[in-house]
Amino acid sequence: MTPVAWVWSAFGIVVACLAYAAWLAARVVRVEGGSEVMRNVLELVHAGAVAFARSQYSLLARVAVITAVVLAALGTILHTGMGWQLALAYIAGVFLAGLAGHLGMLISTRANARTTNLTATSLRAGFRVAYQAGVVTGVVTVGLGLLGLSVAWLVFGRPILVSGLALGVSTFALFARVGGGTFAKGTDIGSEMASRLEGGIPKDNLQNPGVIAEEIGDNVSGVTGMGADVAQSVTGATVAAMVLGVVVADGQVTSPFVVLPLLVGAIGLVASLGGQFLVQVMRKGGPQSSFRYGACVAGPVVLVALFLLCAFYLPRAGESWTRYLGFFWSGVAGWVVGVSVSWLAHINVSPQRVPVRLVADATKKGLGLNLIAGLAMGMRAVVVPSLLLAALIGLDYYLGFRTGVPGAGWYAVALGILGVLSTASFQVSVGAYGPIADNAFGIAKMSGASEEVLDRTQTLDSLGISAAAAARGYAGAAAALTSIIVTVAYFEAYRIGIGRAAAHSLPRFDLLEDPALMIGLLVGGLLPYLFGFFTLTNVSRIAGYVVNEIRRQFREIPGLRVGSAPPDLATCVYIAIVQAHKGMAYPALLALAVPLAVGLVNPMALGGVLVGATLSGFLLSTTITTSGGIWNAVRQMLSGGDSDLPDAQVTDSAATAHLLGSPLKESSGPSVHALIKLMSMTALVLTPVFASLHG
């Protein structure tokens, strides 16, 4: 088979997987929605999520059009030969990512009340429908990205043009992560603070004017935002591997080295479906066990396929079938690292593990020690993942070098990163399950469900918390690795773009030789912190507006406090939507404009910016997401009675720490992932521009 035929095969595989997702979504929607109250809450959450998406996509469309015009103009003026094509690929990426995010959000808002209703039958029945909705999200978000990459390669035939589509996906991911995260945490914190100030009105109570906004936030952040984050990594790493494949193939864009990353992505989607199917049908053990077994099935399937491709697809006539097995072992190492970082993120927030227990013990002595211990555990959490990523890069580079192919070191690293991302669809399905289960528990409380249903939905919610934590850890490691390999692809593409003679005279990435690199490292290192300032400030502003609106309603609506009058649920939703998207201007400008501005001045300094942002962003994100997750776990442990700390003051300290940790783990931390990947992908897409100016 020719490389083009192989890509058509990948295209067919992805289409078949998407068809399965459509069939599964139809099954979820056919499930009965429950009581009238449950159905009403479902429709309110669904309508609010659609309103959020409408506002977000309107803003995103304006940004996308401006960006596309800039890309087309730069390409045309500087005669790069890829002006309108790049702009077209970019718009297609934004559209596909937006479509995937919208479909994931729609199925998640349709599954929450159905999960609550089915838990009255059995715990397993409720778990199955929630996870099936998660599977739809996982397949759609990853599948549409791979579909777009396949079509873009078939149409344009050049990886640097295909990178335009990945840039479009990255742009949407920034909006989904930042906009969705700030909306979710602003409404969550505002609702909780207002509840305290107004005499302890429960958060999950239909008399709370902010309760529906909070339920919407779980979907637009934990489902759409998380899915877009991982899809951004998949498309970015795949494009980077294709660009490095051109280097290994000495400029042949139709080489098997260029096509292999697309094949790995398609096979990974199928392998994930196998693991997802096992999770749905397993009856022995609890849902947590089925997650573990599903992950153990998905990985080996894709690794077997990678072995066959490396042994029989890559070798040319006369070459030994063993020559490229180093690429296979790179993929194995990547899969092991991906599983490991997910597991580490899970145990860091598990109530049965040391970090949470130590912070809970510190809570006995007051809020201050709770905060100190939680932050310390977050700092400790960066050590092992950082060493794992460093070991993966070093091992994979060595394995690629041993093949004897020029440039194969970084290509092997790229395949190792694709090994991490090979089961991305499975990871998204597990992560998307969490917000659905959380909504189901909230709906159970709002609808006055029986104690049995409350207990079962709380069990599902507890599992969802640990599943979401594992997904965040996985997404963070994938983001750092993706940004690194896209940065490497940027350097390689720049050297190719300016010509061999000019590239030979370029300074090495040496701080002693080029002080611009140090300047770039410092500028890049500060960007994630500035980004965190923007996101946390936006969360604080939204929470303040929500608090004021809830308190206003309790003052001005007679009978609201005693339950004889309904609240105005829509106003809190509207306020949060407007404020969340009002705060998108600076983060979007930061991510898109900085690479362009620095690259126009000094393309090598831009490399320093990307490296500095990636390193500081990964460390910052890991620290604050872990600390936030631990503070949340401590609060859940105390409120659930799983502790020997009955003092109300201690419980209040844990709840206060949770108010700090919640936006860190759900908004600022994950948003940094989107920042570093969007910056590196912007640099890669603009490489022809920089090469034209400086070549």
Per the CB < 8 A criterion, the answer to whether 398 and 327 are in contact is no
Give the integer Cα–Cα distance in Å for 269 and 18. 10
What are 455-479's pLDDT values in tens digits?
A: 999 888 888 888 888 888 899 999 9
Asked if the structure places residue 12 within a domain, the reply is yes
| pLDDT at res. 549 | 92
* In the predicted structure, residue 157 carries a pLDDT above the cut 90: no
Per the CB < 8 A criterion, the answer to whether 573 and 48 are in contact is yes
Asked if the structure places residue 296 within a domain, the reply is yes
Q: What is the mean pLDDT of residues 64-80?
A: 90
With a CB cutoff of 8 Å and minimum separation 6, the contacts of 452 are 120
* In the predicted structure, residue 115 carries a pLDDT above the cut 50: yes
* Sign of the alpha-carbon torsion through 316, 321, 326, 332: positive
* In the predicted structure, residue 328 carries a pLDDT above the cut 80: yes
Place of tokens 């003026």: 77
Q: What is the pTM of this model?
A: 0.93
Asked if the structure places residue 407 within a domain, the reply is no
Give the integer Cα–Cα distance in Å for 165 and 160. 10
* Cα 428 to the center of its chain, rounded Å: 8
Which range is most confident: 94-108, 358-372, 639-653? 94-108
Q: What is the mean pLDDT of residues 72-97?
A: 90
| pLDDT at res. 236 | 95
The total domain count for the chain is 1
Asked if the structure places residue 192 within a domain, the reply is yes
What are 552-571's pLDDT values in tens digits?
A: 998 888 888 777 788 898 99
Place of tokens 């597990």: 430
* In the predicted structure, residue 93 carries a pLDDT above the cut 80: yes
Instruction: Give the type of residue at 259.
Output: V
Asked if the structure places residue 88 within a domain, the reply is yes
* In the predicted structure, residue 397 carries a pLDDT above the cut 70: yes
Residue 518 pLDDT class (50, 70, 90 cuts): confident
Residue 509 pLDDT class (50, 70, 90 cuts): low
* Cα 455 to the center of its chain, rounded Å: 30
CA distances from 96 to 91, 102, 348, 448 (A): 9, 10, 34, 40
Percent of the chain with pLDDT over 90: 52
Query: Minimum mean pLDDT among 251-265, 277-291, 612-626, 652-666: which range?
Result: 277-291
CA distances from 104 to 11, 82, 645, 666 (A): 21, 33, 40, 18
- The number of beta carbons lying within 10 Å of the beta carbon of residue 203 is 16
Residue 501 pLDDT class (50, 70, 90 cuts): very low
Q: Closest Cα to residue 606, out of 494, 438, 466?
A: 494
Which structural domain range is residue 650 located in? 3-401+412-694
Average predicted confidence (pLDDT) for the chain: 88
Asked if the structure places residue 406 within a domain, the reply is no
Per DSSP, the three-state class of 202 is coil
Q: Closest Cα to residue 143, out of 96, 175, 95, 180?
A: 96
Q: What is the mean pLDDT of residues 633-653?
A: 69
Helix axes 226-248, 83-119, angle to 10 degrees: 140
| pLDDT at res. 107 | 93
Asked if the structure places residue 617 within a domain, the reply is yes
DSSP 505-565: TSPPS-TTT-HHHHHHHHHHHHHHHHHHHHHHHHHHHHHHHHHHHHHHHHHHSTTTTTTSS
**Encoded tokens for 118:** 């089915």
**435 vs 206, higher pLDDT:** 435
Per the CB < 8 A criterion, the answer to whether 329 and 610 are in contact is no
Give the integer Cα–Cα distance in Å for 276 and 295. 8
With a CB cutoff of 8 Å and minimum separation 6, the contacts of 344 are 381, 384, 385, 473
Q: What is the mean pLDDT of residues 263-270?
A: 94
Give the integer Cα–Cα distance in Å for 187 and 218. 10
* Sign of the alpha-carbon torsion through 583, 585, 590, 595: positive
Give the integer Cα–Cα distance in Å for 661 and 293. 31
**288 vs 327, higher pLDDT:** 327
With a CB cutoff of 8 Å and minimum separation 6, the contacts of 661 are 374, 627, 628, 629, 630, 631, 632
Residue 643 pLDDT class (50, 70, 90 cuts): very low
**Encoded tokens for 121:** 């039958």
Q: Closest Cα to residue 546, out of 260, 193, 294, 205?
A: 193
By residue count, the chain amounts to: 695
Asked if the structure places residue 608 within a domain, the reply is yes
Percent of the chain with pLDDT over 70: 96
Query: Minimum mean pLDDT among 100-104, 204-208, 255-259, 443-447: which range?
Result: 204-208
| pLDDT at res. 645 | 47
| pLDDT at res. 539 | 94
* In the predicted structure, residue 642 carries a pLDDT above the cut 60: no
* In the predicted structure, residue 508 carries a pLDDT above the cut 70: no
